[in-house]
């Protein structure tokens, strides 16, 4: 290979490397994403907590789904009244008693939650894995007694994850009698901005029998903006074009 040919190859490679590097930067830093989403620090670093919360391993009897650790929220001793939890999550009073997709929820008594604030762009997708556990009677028994439940809040929006009316329950190998097994939650953002993610679990009406919620693998996946994609294509074309110009000069 002549010196001129080698020079042309190096220029072409340089353009390609620049394109790959730019793409890597865009995908790595698309937003101020969720931090410590799989709790692999072994604690709640970057998360705010309220009530009875802990970090668990596979020794707990279920999970984790990603890495070695997962979060557990329970309605055991140390959980807090509904008013305290709504204030903690920035929710309107009464929000946790009127969850649209959990119509059987009556009077929430006490619970626990975790919260993290992050920045997302329109089109970004928030996902996490969850497993609702309970010692209450469930839909597998007739009738169920008290409708303990788990939920997620994003900004002011509250969505139910599961309650004791769920048809998903199986026998649990944890200290709880039954569990739903791990399920996946997904939410696509329609607007850009700063958002607060809250995830929690609540006792309804009574406090005699506890419930819990395992959480793992909380992620925010960003979709590159059209302008960014066009910029990458232009950068790649520029690098390749420069190489061809040098070759034909």
pLDDT attached to residue 19? 40
| Domain containing residue 209: CATH number | 2.60.120
| Dist CA 51 CA 111 (whole Å) | 6
Three-state SS for 178? strand
Query: pLDDT band at 221, cuts 50/70/90?
Result: very high
Please give the residue range of the domain that contains residue 114: 48-221
Residue 227 counted as domain residue: no
SS3 content of the chain, % helix, strand, coil (to 5): 25, 35, 40
Closest CA to 199 of 143, 154, 166: 154
| Residues 75 and 148 sit within 8 Å (Cβ to Cβ) | yes
Residue 91: name the closest of 178, 23, 156 by CA. 156
Mean pLDDT of the chain: 83
In a domain, 42, yes or no: no
More reliable by pLDDT, 29 or 124: 124
Answer whether residue 176 is part of any domain: yes
In whole angstroms, give the CA distance from residue 177 to residue 153: 26
Task: Give pLDDT, residue 47.
Answer: 99
Q: Is residue 244 part of a domain?
A: no
More confident: 31 or 176: 176
Q: What is the percent of the chain where pLDDT is above 70?
A: 73
94-127 residue pLDDT tens: 999 999 888 777 788 899 999 999 999 999 999 9
Q: What is the C-alpha separation between 231 and 238, in angstroms, rounded?
A: 10
Evaluate if residue 184 carries a pLDDT over 50: yes
Per the CB < 8 A criterion, the answer to whether 165 and 45 are in contact is no
Domain count, the chain: 1
- Could you give the CA distance from residue 4 to residue 23 in angstroms, rounded to a whole number? 29
Q: Confidence band (pLDDT; 50, 70, 90) for 216?
A: very high
Instruction: Provide the whole-model pTM.
Output: 0.79
Structural domain contains residue 163: yes
Kindly state whether residue 26 falls inside one of the protein's structural domains. Answer: no
Q: 64 preceded by cis ω (within 30°)? A: yes
Which is more confidently placed, 28 or 122? Answer: 122
Is 229 part of a structural domain of the chain?
A: no
Long-range contacts of 89-93 (CB under 8 A, 24+ apart): 89/113, 89/115, 89/153, 89/196, 89/198, 89/200, 90/155, 90/156, 90/196, 90/198, 91/153, 91/156, 91/158, 91/198, 92/156
Residue 179 maps to a domain? yes
Question: What average pLDDT does the segment 2-10 reach?
Answer: 49
Phi, psi of 87 (to 5 degrees): -65, -45
């Amino acid at each position: 290979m002549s010196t001129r040919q080698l020079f042309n190859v190096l220029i072409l490679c340089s353009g390609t490397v620049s394109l790959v590097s730019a793409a890597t930067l865009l995908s790595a830093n698309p937003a101020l994403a969720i931090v410590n989403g799989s709790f692999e620090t072994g604690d709640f670093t970057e998360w705010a907590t309220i009530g009875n919360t802990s970090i668990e391993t596979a020794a707990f009897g279920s999970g984790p789904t990603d890495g070695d650790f997962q979060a557990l929220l329970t309605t055991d001793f140390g959980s807090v009244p509904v008013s305290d939890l709504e204030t903690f999550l920035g929710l309107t009073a009464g929000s946790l008693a009127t969850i649209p997709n959990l119509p059987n929820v009556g009077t929430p008594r006490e619970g626990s939650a975790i919260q993290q604030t992050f920045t997302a762009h329109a089109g970004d997708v928030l996902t996490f894995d969850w497993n609702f556990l309970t010692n209450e009677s469930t839909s597998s028994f007739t009738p169920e007694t008290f409708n303990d439940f788990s939920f997620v809040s994003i900004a002011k929006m509250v969505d139910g994850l599961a309650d004791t009316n769920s048809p998903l329950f199986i026998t649990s190998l944890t200290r709880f009698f039954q569990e739903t097994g791990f399920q996946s939650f997904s939410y696509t953002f329609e607007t850009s901005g700063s958002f607060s993610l809250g995830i929690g679990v609540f006792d309804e009406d009574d406090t005699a029998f506890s419930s819990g919620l395992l959480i793992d693998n909380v992620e925010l996946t960003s979709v590159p903006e059209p302008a960014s994609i066009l910029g990458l294509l232009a950068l790649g074309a520029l690098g390749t074009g420069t190489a061809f110009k040098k070759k034909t000069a």
